[in-house]
Amino acid sequence: MASGSRTSGPLPRRPLGFLMRYIKARPWQFGGLFSVIVAGAACAVMVQYGMKLLVDAMASPDRATADVWTPLALFLGLIAVENVLWRSGGWLGARTIVSTGVDMRLDLFQHLTGHPMRYFSQHMAGSLGGRITATANAAGMILRGLTWSIVPPSTEIIGAVIVLTTIDWRMGAALAVFVAIVAAAIILFGVRGKDIHHDFARQSSRAGGELVDVVSNVWTVKAFSARQRERDRLAGELGAEAASERRSWMYLEKARLLHDACLWVMAGSMLLWAITLWRAGSITPGDVVIISALTFRILHGSRDLALALVSTSQFIGTISDSLNVIAQPHGIEDPGDERPLLAQGGAIRFDDVSFSYPDGRQVFDRFDLDIPAGQKVGLVGPSGSGKSTLIGLIQRLDDAQGGSILIDGQRITEVGQDSLRSRIAVVPQEIALFHRTILENIRYGKPDATDEEVMAAARHAYCHDFISALPEGYHTMVGERGVRLSGGQRQRLGIARAFLKNAPILILDEATSALDTESEQEIQLALADLVRGRTVLAVAHRLSTVSTFDRILVLSNGVVVEDGSPAELRRRGGIFDRMWRLQADSLAESMQMDAAD
């Protein structure tokens, strides 16, 4: 049974708080589950008591008048009830724990995607994805262990102490003390191994991230004949993971050895005591039977309990490692009321904006800029001048430390991030496509769009013809990151997606810089249609992309050093004019070489 998350609020960063968040989210399900499990474990103890009554009845010297049927009926009835309770617990557990795992994954994903983009540049995607899965799996193992390996033996131990107290209070007290000492020793042993288990969790996540990183860059591996080199590198990572796993495993084995030794002493002592009391006539044969049965039941149950406690400390280490990375506070927070952005024309204003990266590098200092609604603005300048930072701030991929950014008069920090980005369409240099159909990838711009609307957007982007020529048309799978399509085809799908989104603000982030001249000419036709009637900001490496724009901003070290129309800036003979002439000369030289060939 899959379900959406029923939780709210920030993710706890401590493992126990994280687990309690989801137990509290399903109080009735978990309450019912634990109640059924406790009742089942109590029945298991009472079954042994029923066996005691049956043995005592059978030990009566007058077999003809001995009432064995009542204890037999009680014994069989308790077995039936116990089985029903265990199966009910299994049914409840399958639904409650599995659904909780789904909620955990969804909440972790939701929180992860709320981090600013700089967070993702600091962590490998494979490692982050692996941490989400590992956290949910570890939490599931803890909940399963709690349900089947911690609660039942704990209940049985309490029940055994109560039953033994009715036979001889000293036995009950001795059992309680012995179990408490063993449990304390195992728990202390488990806590001392926390760092070992944390190290294994970190190494496992790192190795998984390295593997995904290599697989995602397999073309580079092949191109540089690096298969053996990467295998050797991966062998080092996996070797470190294996060493940490062995340390964690052997620590568990030490816990098992400690537990087995303690329980051998306990079982032997209790049986010797029981036989001594029986020989003295202090207890009945049925008492010996129940003492023996409960002792061996506790022997096996406490083994499960001890190992579950140690394993739980291992799983808590996995959760703690993941939460330390994923559950960090977001660098960008939404306002509490999630107010929508009421963008109409898409006017953009930077008012006294200051921004520096976490490493202290300043990009903007009291930066001002006004872009009227519907204006088409090209952003040019050398690398590091602030172009990408500017468009990132508009999308709230980062927040400025000072000043404010407004769209149609609304501060973007006072509206929800999703609402803000729903009013902005972006066509980047590298179009990100999912391993889904072409239809699904274009529809990503407007999830509720009809097939006809998707096809209309594809026609606007001049990609309907090549899509129709594919064997499966719009239902063609594009491969991971669109690998089955050419660069120009991927770019046109990105433009189609922007057409379908139909946002008042359009950002073009070097949308043609990676294309050949022929592909660029085709895409320029699509872009000419796309920019019509919108506020446009285009980061341009190829100045031909912005040659027809209303306005060009030349940035240098976070400052606008030139501002005007393309024709005006060329007449001034400044930075833009020099860049234009350099590209024109380069293009002319390239055409002459092509003609010579």
Strand residue runs (E) in 38-144: none
Is the per-residue pLDDT at 580 higher than 90?
A: no
At residue 390, the pLDDT reads 92
Query: Distance between CA 352 and CA 415 in Å, rounded?
Result: 19
**Whether the model pTM is above 0.75:** no
Is the per-residue pLDDT at 64 higher than 70?
A: no
Q: What is the pLDDT of residues 334-358, one digit of tens each?
A: 765 567 877 678 899 999 999 988 7
Is the per-residue pLDDT at 58 higher than 60?
A: yes
The count of other CB atoms within 10 Å of the CB of residue 179 is: 22
At residue 340, the pLDDT reads 80
In this structure, of 160-169, 212-221, 483-492, the range with the lowest mean pLDDT score is 212-221
Q: Are 528 and 427 in contact (CB under 8 A)?
A: no
Q: Are 105 and 4 in contact (CB under 8 A)?
A: no
Which one is predicted more confidently, 409 or 585?
Answer: 409
Query: Which helix (H) or strand (E) segment is 334 a member of?
Result: none
Q: What is the pLDDT of residues 83-111, one digit of tens each?
A: 899 889 889 988 899 889 889 988 998 88
List the one residue out of 293, 295, 198, 211 whose CA is nearest residue 245: 198
The amino acid occupying position 533 is: G
Query: Distance between CA 130 and CA 427 in Å, rounded?
Result: 29
- Cα separations in angstroms, 200 against 131, 188, 237, 245: 13, 19, 12, 6
At residue 115, the pLDDT reads 81
Q: Are 208 and 125 in contact (CB under 8 A)?
A: no
Is the per-residue pLDDT at 56 higher than 80?
A: no
**CATH numeric code, 15-326:** 1.20.1560.10
In this structure, of 213-222, 343-352, 389-398, 444-453, the range with the lowest mean pLDDT score is 213-222
The amino acid occupying position 54 is: L
Q: Are 498 and 427 in contact (CB under 8 A)?
A: yes
User: From the DSSP assignment, how many helices (H) and strands (E) are in the chain?
Assistant: 20, 10
Is the per-residue pLDDT at 494 higher than 50?
A: yes
Is the per-residue pLDDT at 306 higher than 80?
A: no
**Rg (the chain; Cα; Å):** 35
At residue 369, the pLDDT reads 92
Is the per-residue pLDDT at 402 higher than 70?
A: yes
Is the per-residue pLDDT at 512 higher than 70?
A: no
At residue 355, the pLDDT reads 92
Percentage of the chain exceeding pLDDT 90: 11
Question: Which residue ranges make up each domain of the chain?
Answer: 15-326
Query: Distance between CA 462 and CA 465 in Å, rounded?
Result: 7
Mean pLDDT of the chain: 81
- Cα separations in angstroms, 570 against 382, 562, 563: 17, 11, 11
At residue 2, the pLDDT reads 44
Tokens read off for 482? 């669109």
pLDDT band at 235 (very low <50, low <70, confident <90, very high): confident
